[in-house]
Structure 1
Amino acid sequence: MDYKIILPLKIRELTIAKAYRYIEAIQSYPGNWPLIIITGNIEGLSWDQLLEGITPLPTTYGALCFPELYLDDELLIAILRERLSEEVVSGIIKAINRGEEIHRLVPYSLLKDIEQRIPEILAGVDFEAFIPLRKEVKKLDEITKNIDIIDDIKLFKVGAFPVEPKTIERDLDRAYHVGEYLADLERTFNEVEEEELDILRVGGFVKAGMKLTDLEEELQCLLDRIPARRLTLMFTRVIL
């Protein structure tokens, strides 16, 4: 299999839930990447808002990120009931059902407890894979046929800063911890020249019990159908 997340195998063999701490450590890294990727309407957004984003996981074909987490409702409510009265919990449930965000509804101390227990209560995640191409792809719907995890696909051009995966793998081999690895990647990507690339972005939802290696296999099925370029990308992914 050629599509790999460029992380140690012991992490890639974990489920998404069990790998959550590693994923969060990477995605929360405030990297000074040479590229910002935004999909959606940016009209009216401030420059500060445009700089708020996540750092993706480097892969042998582009990059991969998990922009949205979904918690198990029953397990979340059970945690709330450990610390709050039934009346308060009932009010929070109603507010969540109206679309309000949980971090605005519960005390900070309880929110920190929930964050610590996310690996236990994570139900699923949205994923996005950004794959560089040798040439533009036609008939986008056909290339994702029978790949059930993909429900969104887009093609765009961007001035990117690609790096050979072997270089990234060397950075990984030299690093002793995630922070050092990301700092090395930051230096590496800020030393390369810009190149205009066709990028295929695919997205979808997967359960938290899926192993990262299983997700790699699903994305390999897509790679087998497209003219992908074996280049790693890193950027700030702004989520609107």
Structure 2
Amino acid sequence: MPNVVACYKWVMDEADVKIASDLSVDTSRAKMKISDYDRNAIQAGVEAAAALGGSLIGLSYGDDRVGKSVKDALSRGLDELVWVNDSDAGTADSARSAAVLAAAVGEMSDVALVICADGSSDQFSRQTAPRMGALMGWPVVTAVSGVSFEDGKLVAERQADAGIEVVEVALPAVIAVLPEAAEAPIPGLRQIMQASKKPSREISAAELAGAQAPLASVVEERGYAMDRKNVQWDAADEGWLDNLTEALRKEGVL
């Protein structure tokens, strides 16, 4: 029976991150959550597993704090959960994260599809899914807005600059989905209660072969300030639209 793996990331809630006047970043009061985009990826996994007649396995990589995500993740339709604990996950780049996740998938059986969000709500590097596919030698489809299965193959609609592309790939495969690929419902009381009965397993990153060291490291974090020109026009004034259009043209917007 083919299994589907849905990857998710436990991140800080960006609403709780504060930027000081000197552009320093204060995360001391930030609560944690499943990345907003990963909630859609999990739901896409729920639908894919149902279509394939298989089970849905959740997979996450992070430090000890990921343990607090287990009940929330399982309440969203996962059949089981594996999370990789790594005390150095906070400094891991996309290369390290992808290598750990790929190694964890490699220890699972009968995996037909790995689903990631197109990007995480904290970094949005959009590298994890392509790197996983490269490491595993599986085809990768990114920017996926819709998925179906025909004759044992995956058919994906993906958003491209020129419009919508329809891509067909053989399974097993890795896809990176956009939020519109699957609307993420809010778990109800029944789903939350059932989550405590589902299996979850913690493994150490040190146990995984092929979990490479990071290729890049973050040396500084700071906020940014938008420099607004604050040019205003009154819609009641004649010619305001022409003035606005000309200002946008000078800025290179038009």
Which structure ranks higher in relative contact order (CA pairs < 8 Å, sequence separation ≥ 6)? Answer: 1
> Which TM-score band applies after superposition, normalised by the shorter structure?
under 0.3
Bigger CA radius of gyration: 2
User: TM-score of the superposition, structure 2-length normalised?
Assistant: 0.23
Q: Where is the strand percentage greater, Structure 1 or Structure 2? A: 2
User: TM-score of the superposition, structure 1-length normalised?
Assistant: 0.24
